[in-house]
Structure 1
Amino acid sequence: MEKLPGGFYPVMVTPFKSNGDIDWTALDQLIEFYLDAGSTGLFANCLSSEMYQLSNEERLQLTKYVVDKVNGRVPVMSTGTFGGDLGKQAEFIHTMYDTGVHCVVIITSQLINEEEDNNLLKSRLETLISSTGNIPLGVYECPSPFKRLLTPEILKSLSATGRFIYHKDTSCDMDDIIPKLEAVKGSNFGFFNANTPTALDSLRAGVDGISPISGNFYPELYSYLCENFDKEDKGRMAYFQQKLSLMDAVTRICYPFSAKWFLQKRGLKMGTDMRMNHTKLHSEEIRIMESLESEFEELCGVYGIEKVTV
């Protein structure tokens, strides 16, 4: 399998209309926004996309729309496992791959229950691999419905199949990330870190890219980090990372509602409507979000980062 390009891969949000339908016009603008901000790949139909609130048909429609709109400019991946019988999950992986994605992503917590062990997870991964032909695959330690981290041993076994090209890691700890990186070293198994506080250290350690939720607020900053982590002065990059870590704590407030609100403030013609249960920003949180916008503007000025205008 061909190795994915490294860099920043946003976990896409899904714009909805007030009646709950997907807002395809807003999605058009959002896709171009991600690409103009320097994204080198897109993860459609993920947790930030409210994938658990979509029907299978909508998951396929959403993914196909993104693939067609991107038209080969960057790789697109999409989730293909949503629990239940492994045979049906394998069948949906085939159907999802037919949309034209570069790889179909397996959710670790969709293959086992929370109390079941990693031996069973490994066995069920092997079953899916054997029943999905030569489809390129990815794996994602999604925190919902519960987080199941992969061990270095399992990652190494997946790497040995030659089928896996994308891993979205949610370890959030360099002591866990480094041995997992070692397990896939020298392979085409792309390793993408979802955690902002460890972003700079992980890039220096050899991850292929990053894919944090904060990238839905200011993707330009994460593209800059991926492009300059080993080029800029170390002190300047350390300060940049410190700022990103502090700002990341703010983006978690009412996420992903807050991401839609922030993007709307940035000028995107998308609403804040959601499928999933959510709370809206109250007045204090709106003030905090406005401060986040100021921090973003300041970093762009200090580091010469071009802000995408919409």
Structure 2
Amino acid sequence: MQFGRLLTAMVTPFDNKGNIDFGKTDQLINHLLLNGTEGIVITGTTGESPTLSNEEKLSFIRYVVQYVNGRIPVIAGTGSNNTRASIILTKQAETIGVDGVMLVTPYYNKPSQEGMFQHFSAIAKETTLPIMLYNIPGRSVVGMTTDIIVRLANNFDNIVAIKEASGDLDAMTAIIHDTDDSFQLYSGDDSLTLPILSIGGTGVISASSHIIGREMQDMITSHINGHPAQAAAIHQQILPLMKALFMAPNPTAIKEALALIGLNVGSVRLPLIALSEEQREELAKTIACSKKAQVS
């Protein structure tokens, strides 16, 4: 399964009462499609999955799959620190018709490496869907070692990709080297997209692509087409905005930035809170500077 090179980890739109806003979901998907997104990951942490009930997740997954209607791959975040619950949600997502699932490393429990191997193995055995692992030790406390990732990739045909947010380029190089050429490694850090492409990575699962999707697509295309200087120039241009979009816990600034460019997808749910006025002004200024740089 080829998911594409630029996938967006999509926010979940909320209305002014904090409920899922399906009308704004249509607008958001259309916006992403027009701005370079080749696939979307929904009900992940950028989608505020910790604050979505299972019923909300299933309703949202069902709605998005129907609206996208096969135009791009839809990957659902169905992983958690509860193996049995992850299996159930994965099976339900498969029934709905998603193109793949993303499984995060079990957070809070702090399982051993063998425990993580068995966790992912148990889920993989219960679905025929393509699986993307998600290694993000900064949020989950535990991270998978290279050996465990390679072992999973080489033992299960349906474990086809990983979103790597460890920041460890040496480990990522080893993963790429020691897995089949069909195994896809995606950057989980927007600012590391170009470095990861340079070591043989596939692309990025991005939050910034909500705002600078076209620019990120141009950077990736420039690199793939053998224009490293052009890719580097784009990277340098968009890096300040990438950093600004993570000035607060994700997806707080992403949602505010969408509102600033005319697509209001609501605020975040507690325990996250909206940006302060000072942060909002800083973000607006950075977006304006970014647009000015693109024109010049």
User: How high is the TM-score relative to the length of structure 2?
Assistant: 0.91
Name the structure 1 match of 2:29: 31
How far, CA to CA, are the matches of 1:299 and 1:143 in structure 2? 34
Shift in CA distance, 97/256, structure 1 to aligned 2, threshold 3 Å? same
Is the CA contact 1:8–1:223 (under 8 Å) kept in the aligned structure 2?
Answer: yes
Q: 2:184 aligns with which of 173, 184, 190?
A: 190
Q: Name the count of aligned residue pairs.
A: 294
The letter of the residue matching 1:113 is: N
How far, CA to CA, are the matches of 2:123 and 2:204 in structure 1? 26
Residue 233 (structure 1) shift: 4.0
Identity %: 22
How far, CA to CA, are the matches of 1:10 and 1:235 in structure 2? 25
Query: What's the CA shift string for 1:17-65, capped at 9, x where partnerless?
Result: 1112111111100001111111111001110111110110110111111
SS at match of 2:72: coil
Is the CA contact 2:124–2:159 (under 8 Å) kept in the aligned structure 1?
Answer: no
Q: Which residues in structure 2 correspond to 1:152-167 (within 5 Å)?
A: 152-160=146-154, 161-167=156-162
Name the structure 2 match of 1:236: 230
How far, CA to CA, are the matches of 1:258 and 1:87 in structure 2? 33
The letter of the residue matching 2:160 is: I
SS at match of 1:225: helix
* Unpaired segments ≥5 residues, structure 1: 303-310
Residue 81 (structure 1) shift: 2.4
* Unpaired segments ≥5 residues, structure 2: none
Shift in CA distance, 158/242, structure 1 to aligned 2, threshold 3 Å? same
Is the CA contact 2:137–2:143 (under 8 Å) kept in the aligned structure 1?
Answer: no
SS at match of 2:36: coil
Residue 10 (structure 1) shift: 0.6
Is the CA contact 1:109–1:142 (under 8 Å) kept in the aligned structure 2?
Answer: no
Query: What's the CA shift string for 1:138-184, capped at 9, x where partnerless?
Result: 21124575243322222222222111123111022322221122122
How far, CA to CA, are the matches of 1:23 and 1:63 in structure 2? 13
Q: Which residues in structure 2 correspond to 1:170-249 (within 5 Å)?
A: 170-187=165-182, 189-231=183-225, 233-249=227-243
User: How high is the TM-score relative to the length of structure 1?
Assistant: 0.87
The letter of the residue matching 2:203 is: G
Shift in CA distance, 243/144, structure 1 to aligned 2, threshold 3 Å? same
How far, CA to CA, are the matches of 1:265 and 1:133 in structure 2? 40
How far, CA to CA, are the matches of 2:168 and 2:86 in structure 1? 30
Q: Which residues in structure 2 correspond to 1:25-64 (within 5 Å)?
A: 25-64=23-62
How far, CA to CA, are the matches of 1:208 and 1:271 in structure 2? 29
Q: 1:287 aligns with which of 260, 281, 284?
A: 281
If asked which structure has higher relative contact order (CA below 8 Å, sep 6+), I would say: 1
